[in-house]
Structure 1
Amino acid sequence: MADTAPIEAPEAAPEQEAEIVAFDDASRDALHILPLGMLPLQTPGLRRASLIKNARLETVVEVFKDRQTGSGQISPDHLGSLFPSHAKSLRVDMVQINKLTRINSFDVYTLRKELRRVGIAVNDAKSLQLSDNKRSELTGYMKDFTRPLLQQVYGGEQRQISDVSDILAMLANPDRDEALNNLRLLSDKLKVKLNEIPDFLEDYGDVFLSLAYFRSCLDGIVPEVQRFLKWAMEPKSSELIARDRNIVKMLGDVQSKLTSITTSITGRFEAFDQRSKHFWNDISAESFRSVRHQIESHHVTIGGVLCGLAVKMALWKSRFPQGGGGPNKRVEFIRSEIQPGLDHIQAIETSASGVR
């Protein structure tokens, strides 16, 4: 995460109150960023800000971010000092913001569920969809989930696929009589009408796109955690550090928790893979609802765990881009930035056992 800069953001002019603020794809696709422009807020200056998770997994308001000045972050409780002339509208907006601070991840799939749970609307439903660029990146992952579906309709024929939408289009508009007949058989198994197959495919695609998104995040994070642990445990070879039982215990606890968390969440994805394969051995409307429920019931906990790990690994790479750092410097970083919040991440992962 970028270093925090002093907050000196000017307030927006009153005539900008109706402005709808756009936000970039990187923010939309991130685990730890919630662009406030997607919400119907009344305080103008807040619409260009974001809620983000810092390395301690606290929710703060990022008022601005710049390579030169860093990240301008402020606690939600202190927003009154930043927008003194909008006290009335800020009081209304703080009702929503206080609810948002308790959400563990800001990925679009967690937000869909959590915003509905706490009764917060968005300006545009597209705000809760992955960007086209991200969907394109996930095509390789989606092929694993859609290959059995394509085989059901097109048999062993090889099809050119460059995006998730290509898969859905091929299935919604089969270009051969045999494929159409297979699609009819599929509709019979699913107990849906043929003209309802496009809705099923959209539903199927979105469920497995969510799994592809989280799998992609996991595949990026786990190797980073492994690299971090190797770096973090090296200070134990220092004679001075090895003599300090408290430090050795702290390092061991961090190693144990990170290993436990990554092992557990990886196991959850293996269970999803097995469940989705079983679905194609017994295709029915009920089996699809069961698979969908299993995946969607894990969105919030998976998002929370991955978000927590992602922000911590991002800070480590930012502070130590080339690795290195003396034993004492590493120990202090681990104690002050990595250890805080690990119990929270582990608690989220442990809670997932209740929905397995």
Structure 2
Amino acid sequence: MTASPAPSDSEAAAAEAPPPEAGVAARAGDDGQFDDSDRDALHILPLGMIPVQTPGLKRARLIKNARLETVVEVFKDRAAGSGQVNPEHLASMYPSHGKEMRTDMAQIHRLTQLNSYDVYSLRIELRRLGIPVEDVNYLRLSASKRLELTTYMRDFTLPLIQQVYGSEQRPINDIAELFALLANPDREEALRNLTLLSQKLNVQLQDIPSFLEEYGDVFLSLAYFRSCLDGLVPEVQRFMGWVSEATKSEMVTRDRLMMKMIGDVMRMLTGITTSITGRFEAFDRRSKDFWHDINADSFRSVRAQISAHHVTIGGVLCGLAVKMALWKARFPHGGGGPMKRVEFVRSEILPGLDHINRIEKSAAGTR
């Protein structure tokens, strides 16, 4: 397989157009190589998507742990669990591939510095780092995830349908149906409206399908991140309630340093979730404004604003996701004594939380 550069925004948009098939294999992803859960995750990067030269690394993955450290997962199965290795120790595992490992380690080192491995952040970051991908299709969400996001996409597809079909009800169950519907309008009035839309956007009528792919990709990214946020915020709130219960213990309340640490964590979590939620509200306002005054510049502005936030949104959501996932794994039914809860906060939640906070603060002013 020939490696290709990380896609530009337009290339990525074309890659995101949903394929006609709806089903996915139980383990392999749409490309037959990666699990859907890998490609849709915030914290996983299958090394097989980049041209690694060490054979043993082709099925390995970079993953973020709860401390936001990047490790290489060389194997994972139900019986043996997860085999995780510090990237610096990889060379000792493949002594017969010294030359290949030196080349691979240069790439892996750069990849460990990224804050998120979601497909939208990777499109930007891989191009910035000059790291090619084996196939641009690796940098798109799975068919199952796109179908799952249909409900979120309705808010963005409805105004587009109304521009073309007016008040006529056009139920859309998948974004692929939207592309087909608008690329082949079935009424004279719809064709006239589509022509008018092309004029407002300053694109040729025959280029409307390309615009639809780009429009769909931009707002599918927003739907993806919004779904991640909507899943995380209730978890963070439950976690904070769980921690608050520990402060009812006299042993905890008597320790001022312990109470300060808990207070700092609670303030950071509240600030991060409030700020990133505000960013999404700003995106919603901008997308609605676009349909009130449709033109090429307004679309480019909306696209640029959303794309500019991909890396920071991915970084914040990835950090919160791995921390909440560990909490649910360690305390699946809640519980745990006050000191056990405090120690978990100290050892697993606090490390790296200031990093997430810095990412959000760096982006919050660019709304």
TM-score normalised to structure 1 length: 0.93
Is residue 2:86 matched to residue 1:72?
A: no
Q: Deviations over 1:10-55 (max 9, x none)?
A: xxxxxxxxxx981111000000000011111100010100000000
> Aligned residue for 2:20?
none
Query: Secondary structure of 1:300's partner?
Result: helix
What is the aligned length?
A: 337
Counterpart among 58, 64, 68 of residue 57 in structure 1: 68
**Is the 8 Å Cα contact of residues 28 and 34 (structure 1) preserved in structure 2?**
yes
Deviation at 1:67, TM superposition (A): 2.5
In the alignment, which residue of structure 2 is the partner of 1:129?
Answer: 140
Give 1:304's aligned residue.
Answer: 315
Which residue of 2 is the match for residue 239 of structure 1? 250
Give the distance between the partners of 1:160 and 1:281, measured in 2 at CA: 22
Aligned counterpart in structure 2 of residue 94 of structure 1, from 99, 105, 123: 105
Structure 1 distance, partners of 2:230, 2:258, is 30
Alignment-derived partner of residue 224 in structure 1: 235
Cα shift readout 1:113-164 (whole Å, capped 9, x = no counterpart): 0000000010010000000000000000001011111000011111232211
Structure 2 CA distance for aligned equivalents of residues 207 and 327 of structure 1 = 45
In structure 2, the residue matched to 1:279 is: 290
What pairs up with 1:1-356 in 2 under 5 angstroms? 22-356=33-367
Separation in structure 2 between the aligned mates of residue 354 and residue 92 of structure 1, nearest angstrom: 38
Distance 1:175 1:95 in 2: 54
Report the Cα offset of residue 306 of structure 1.
Answer: 0.1
Unaligned runs of 5+ in 1: 1-19
1:177 is displaced (CA, Å) by 1.2
Whether the 8 Å contact between 1:21 and 1:37 is mirrored in structure 2 is: no
Q: Distance in 1 between matches of 2:243 and 2:81?
A: 26
Distance 1:322 1:180 in 2: 56
Aligned partners of 2:275 and 2:364 also within 8 Å: no
- Structure 1 partner of 2:21: none
Give distance in 1, aligned partners of 2:176 and 2:131: 29
The CA deviation at 1:300 is 0.2
Q: Kindly indicate whether the alpha-carbon contact (under 8 Å) linking 1:21 and 1:47 is maintained by their aligned counterparts in 2.
A: no
| Counterpart code for 1:284 | N
The percentage of counterpart residues that share the same residue type is 71
Instruction: Work out the CA distance in 2 between the residues paired with 1:106 and 1:31.
Output: 5
Equivalent-residue separation in structure 2 for 1:32 and 1:345 (angstroms): 14
Question: Following TM superposition, by how much is the alpha carbon of 1:354 offset from its aligned partner in structure 2, in angstroms?
Answer: 4.6
RMSD: 1.0
1:241/1:327 contact within 8 Å kept: yes
1:52-97 residue CA offsets vs partner (Å, 9 max, x unmatched) = 0000001110111122322111110000111111111000011110
User: TM-score, normalised on structure 2?
Assistant: 0.91
Q: Which amino acid aligns with 1:112?
A: R
Q: Decide whether the 8 Å contact of 1:305 with 1:348 is kept in 2.
A: yes
Question: Is this contact kept in 1: 2:44–2:118, CA < 8 A?
Answer: yes
Contact 2:279/2:364 (<8 A) preserved: no
What is aligned with 1:16?
none
> Partners in 1 of 2:105 and 2:82 — Cα distance?
21
The one-letter code of the counterpart of 1:156 is S
Unaligned runs of 5+ in 2: 1-30
Amino acid at match of 2:289: H
SS at match of 1:130: coil
Q: Distance in 2 between matches of 1:205 and 1:237?
A: 49
| More RCO (CA 8 Å, sep 6+) | 2
